[in-house]
DNA sequence: GGCGTGACTATAC
DNA sequence: GGTATAGCCACGC
C-alpha cells in the first residue's frame, strides 16, 4: 500500500508524545523521542517542534534538554516565551533551567501517563 | 551522494 | 554543572 512517509509517521508520533506531557511538568527531547517509538532521535523532536511552530498548538514549552536546560539561549525571545509559559503552569525556571527532579515526568507516578496504551485506563485526578 | 548544520544525548575530565 | 568529544539522524545545498 501507499504507506505514508516514515518521517510523517514519526512526526505524528512525536507530536502525540509532546501533547501527552501533563500540565506543570516537563520532559526531555530524548524522552519524547523514546515515547514516540524513536529512541535516540532527540534531534528529530527538535526539528519537528521547529517546523510545527506555535501554530501546531503543541506544548513545546514543556520540552527541555536532558539536563533541564532550556533549549534556547537565554537572550532569545523563544527562551522568554518558554520560561513565561512554564511559570504560568507552576514550573520554576532558574538560570535557564528547570528542576527535573521536581517537574520532570521521570519521577515515578507519571510513568503511567507515559504508558503506550492503557486502554483508557488513564490516570486522572490532577 | 558527500558535507555542513542543528530546539540533542551520553560520557569523560 | 561547565567544557570537550563522539554519536546520532533528518534536511538543504
Rounded to whole angstroms, the distance from the CA of residue A56 to the C1' of nucleotide B4 is 29
Residue with CA nearest to C8's C1' atom: A40
CA distances to A17, A29, A52, A123, A126 from A7, in Å: 15, 17, 14, 30, 33
Give residue A84's pLDDT: 94
Q: What is the pLDDT of residues A87-116, one digit of tens each?
A: 999 999 998 989 887 788 755 555 556 665
Tell if A104 CB is < 7 Å from nucleic strand C.
Answer: no
Q: What is the pLDDT of residues A110-122, one digit of tens each?
A: 555 666 555 445 5
Site of grid cell 514516540 = A36
Given pLDDT bands bounded at 50, 70 and 90, which one contains residue A4?
Answer: low
Query: Residue A101 in 3-state DSSP?
Result: helix
Residue with CA nearest to B7's C1' atom: A46
Q: Residue A49, Cα to own-chain centre: how many angstroms?
A: 9
Q: Are A112 and A45 in contact (CB under 8 A)?
A: no
Rounded to whole angstroms, the distance from the CA of residue A87 to the C1' of nucleotide C9 is 33
Give the closest residue to A86 by CA, choosing from A101, A75, A70.
A70
Give the closest residue to A64 by CA, choosing from A39, A28, A23.
A28
Rounded to whole angstroms, the distance from the CA of residue A41 to the C1' of nucleotide C2 is 25
Q: What is the pLDDT of residues A26-58, one digit of tens each?
A: 999 999 999 898 888 999 999 999 988 888 899
Amino acid at each position: 500500500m501507499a504507506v505514508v512517509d516514515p518521517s510523517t509517521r514519526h512526526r505524528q508520533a512525536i507530536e502525540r508524545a509532546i501533547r501527552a506531557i501533563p500540565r506543570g511538568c516537563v520532559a526531555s527531547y530524548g524522552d519524547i523521542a523514546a515515547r514516540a517509538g524513536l529512541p535516540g532521535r532527540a534531534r528529530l523532536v527538535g526539528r519537528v517542534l521547529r517546523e510545527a511552530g506555535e501554530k501546531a498548538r503543541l506544548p513545546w514549552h514543556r520540552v527541555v534538554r536532558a539536563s533541564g536546560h532550556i533549549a534556547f539561549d537565554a537572550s532569545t525571545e523563544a527562551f522568554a516565551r518558554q520560561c513565561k509559559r512554564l511559570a504560568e503552569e507552576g514550573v520554576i525556571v532558574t538560570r535557564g533551567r528547570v528542576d527535573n527532579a521536581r517537574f520532570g515526568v521521570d519521577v515515578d507516578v507519571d510513568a503511567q501517563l507515559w504508558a503506550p496504551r492503557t486502554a483508557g485506563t488513564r490516570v486522572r485526578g490532577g
